[in-house]
Structure 1
Amino acid sequence: MSKSRNIFLLFLLFLLLVGCDKKIKRVDEERFAFGTFFKISVFSDNEKRTKEDIEKAFQEIERIDSKYNSKVKGSLVDNLNNLKQENFDDEGLYLLSEVNKAYKLSNGKYDITMEPLMTAWGFSEDVPPRETLPTNLELEAAAEKVDFSQIKVDGNIVTIKKDDVKIDTGSFLKGYAVQKAGQELRKAGVKSGFISAISSIEAIGSKGDGTPWKIGIQNPNNPSEILGIVELNNQSMGVSGDYQTYVEINGKRYHHIIDKETKFPVQDKKMVVVVNKNSLEADLYSTTFFLMPIEKVLEKANETPDLDVLIVDKNDEIYISKNLKFNKK
């Protein structure tokens, strides 16, 4: 058995700035946070000022990481997990409320207390690689510790009512960090640029010639190939795929998006792409939609303004919501 983490960028970014102003240039910076690399690129005619603006955006990413990441010792969520009660600020309460919306939308399938089941499958640095599939007894015991309904909010006090339950922020917090970084750049006057963090991206404005950004979507069967192109114009994108994070047991891959009911990885999809105007939601809903029936996902997308999805099912059929601009290769 081996544990693998796909390190390919989910997006091949076609970043050709078209225009006659030779002073405009692309300024790039990259930092490590949330266990992955964040990249910020901005088109500007003032490199010095732009680097200062990008630095402020990275400071915001680092603030979110240190304050809310469940994997960071001393963060609000880490304290909540250990002490079972913590005083959250309004920002933290907002994040929990957005998570609760996804929990309800998915009829409880999207659950940020899934860490015990993830660990049972070997998705933890604290356990050795698995050589055999987890037994039913192991999965049942882990599932007993999964229950988002045990998270209670009373004013600013957040309480975990059950000792074994813990929050994992991995499925949504990176998207929020991208969103907050984007807000910092827009506040600084940035008109054209992007932020990417593997499975999350935010496009600020359009390309220099006014046309949309063209983002290459990986083929889930071969991540080195492009499945097609999605156009973004001042929009965000989140992607969840069965090829991103997985374990290998007896020569077979098992990905990390687990169904609470079956206690096994979801079987009916290979990839979900979400496009909207909110990076937190794009990240959050790419996982949520992976756990929901395809027809329900399309129904939600088609009835919600500024929300689009692309789904690749287990048979490689592609489903697209009515307003998504997708050009298949």
Structure 2
Amino acid sequence: MKKILLIFILLLLIGCGKKEKKKIVERKFAFGTMIDMVVYSENSTQAKKAIELAFEEIERIDDKFNTHKEDSVIYKMNHNPGKFFELDSEGLYLFSGVKQTYNLSKTKYDITITPLMKVWGFFDESDRVKIPEKDELEKAIRMVDYNNLEVTGNKIRLKTSKNEIDTGSFLKGYAIHRAKIVLAENGVEHAFISAISSIETLNTKPEGEFWKVGLQNPEDPSKVYHIIGVDDKSMGVSGDYQIYVEIDGKKYHHLIDRKTGYPVRDRKMVVVIGEDGFFADMYSTAFFSMPIEDVMDYVNNTDDLEVMIVKADMSEVFSDGFKKYMVK
């Protein structure tokens, strides 16, 4: 499996004002990727402590819910089908949002997608050498079933062992959104957090300018496609070039249509701008396989939400307000 960084971060340091705010940058590994935090502050000691607390929050969420962490509630559920596990208010919030997105997508977005991910080789250490056989795909498709997930009160379980929950499409976005809140609670006024395909911004840059995010060109990731300017917003990006397996010289990406069993082929990238990284992360995945008309209808009737969809032929479809964020 090969991974290509989805986003180039373009952070421009503007000249000092009357009270100089220093730029402080920290980087740590979580969720299988590097997470960068950029903070501007007059008080470096306070800012570094806030960054430390924000990373601790990310690590807490990673340990508590990540599919791949053995002590997480999700890992335990996946390995103990039929057994109920208790969810606290945070867990209930997460699964409420997941269910909302599943319903919005008319079942296109399904966090029990693991059987299809496995049959394509996305969880293997080595690259898959051949396309899955028809019967392999049909069997995996039958196993993907959100209704196998049961939430009763504050209890949750997988009814049977036929599938597993994958947190990759929502947990990272939730974690960096929580990190943004922790920074704000600890006196930070200007911050940028990047977890590759998930972005959070706290207010503007010190001089009042927006944060600039460079998106890779889906057809040539070495080039910048668009520059997006955001302030106090969340961004989620899904692309057909982010994670893929290569079979006989052809790339098969990880954004799979659960109805066909094959990667979605009619679009190359989805960019969502919103108020909450948790939903921006989920929506960028859900919108990748939903009918474009349904996506635009929902987004254009939802406050503080915008989307750009890049189709397979590189033509673009925008929600009503997306272009106001485009710098070039």
* TM-score normalized with structure 2 length: 0.96
Answering whether residue 229 of structure 2 is matched by residue 235 of structure 1, we say no
Partner SS for 1:159: strand
Partner of 1:119: 118
Q: What do residues 197-244 of structure 1 show as CA deviations (whole Å, max 9, x unaligned)?
A: 010010100011112222212111111211112121100000000000
Aligned residues of 1:18 and 1:207 also touching (Cα < 8 A):
no
**Once the 2 structures are TM-superposed, how far is the Cα of residue 18 of structure 1 from its aligned partner?**
4.0
- Where does the alignment leave 5 or more consecutive residues of structure 1 unmatched? none
For the 8 Å contact 1:228–1:326, the answer to whether it is kept is no
Pairing 1:107–2:106 present: yes
Match of 1:72 among 66, 69, 72: 69
Alignment correspondent of 1:284: 282
Q: Deviations over 1:282-325 (max 9, x none)?
A: 11100000011112111111111100001100010011111112
Q: Is the 8 A contact 1:203 1:235 kept in 2?
A: yes
Aligned residues of 2:17 and 2:207 also touching (Cα < 8 A): no
Structure 2 residue identity aligned to 1:20: G
Q: For residues 304 and 277 of structure 2, what CA distance do their matches in structure 1 show? A: 12
Mapped partners of 1:268, 1:141: distance in 2: 24
Residue aligned with 1:264, SS:
coil
Report the secondary structure of 1:144's partner residue: helix
The Cα shift of 1:326 comes to 4.1
Asked whether 1:196 is paired with 2:189, we answer: no
Q: 2:34 aligned with 1:37, yes or no?
A: yes
CA distance in 2, matches of 1:22, 1:223: 39
Corresponding letter in the other structure for 2:295: V
The 2-side partners of 1:90 and 1:104 are apart by 21
Where in structure 2 are there 5+ consecutive unaligned residues? none
Residue 318 to residue 277, structure 1, CA distance change in 2 (3 Å): same
Q: 1:10 aligns with which of 4, 7, 12?
A: 7
Taking structure 1 as the reference length, the TM-score comes to 0.96
For 1:15 and 1:286, the matched residues in 2 are separated by: 26
Superposed CA deviations along residues 7-40 of structure 1, whole A, max 9, x for unmatched, are x351422332344236311011110011101111
Which residue does the alignment assign to 1:98? 97
Deviates more, 1:221-230 or 1:47-56: 221-230
Matched, 1:225 2:223: yes
Confirm or deny: 8 A CA contact 1:175 1:200 kept in the other structure: yes
Give the equivalent residue in structure 2 for 1:89.
88
Would the aligned equivalents of 2:6 and 2:215 in 1 still touch at CA under 8 Å?
no
Preserved contact between residue 230 and residue 326 of structure 1 (Cα < 8 Å): yes
Q: Are 1:118 and 1:124, in contact at CA under 8 Å, matched by a contact in 2? A: yes
CA RMSD of aligned residues (A): 1.3
CA distance in 2, matches of 1:327, 1:53: 30
Question: Post-superposition shift, 1:101?
Answer: 0.7
- Alpha-carbon contact 2:229-2:327 (below 8 Å) kept: no
Q: Which 10-residue stretch deviates more, 82-91 or 49-58?
A: 82-91
Q: How does 1:1-329 map to 2 (within 5 A)?
A: 3-6=1-4, 8-21=5-18, 23-84=20-81, 85-125=84-124, 128-324=126-322, 325-327=324-326, 329=328
The whole-number CA distance in structure 1 between the counterparts of 2:162 and 2:148 is 10
Which residue identity lines up with residue 67 of structure 1 in the other structure? Answer: K
**Which shifted more, 203-212 or 274-283?**
203-212
Cα pair 2:119 2:140 within 8 Å, conserved? yes
Q: For 1:242, give the aligned amino acid.
A: D
CA distance in 2 between partners of 1:167 and 1:36 (Å): 20
Q: Distance in 2 between matches of 1:211 and 1:27?
A: 17
2:141 maps to a residue whose letter is: A
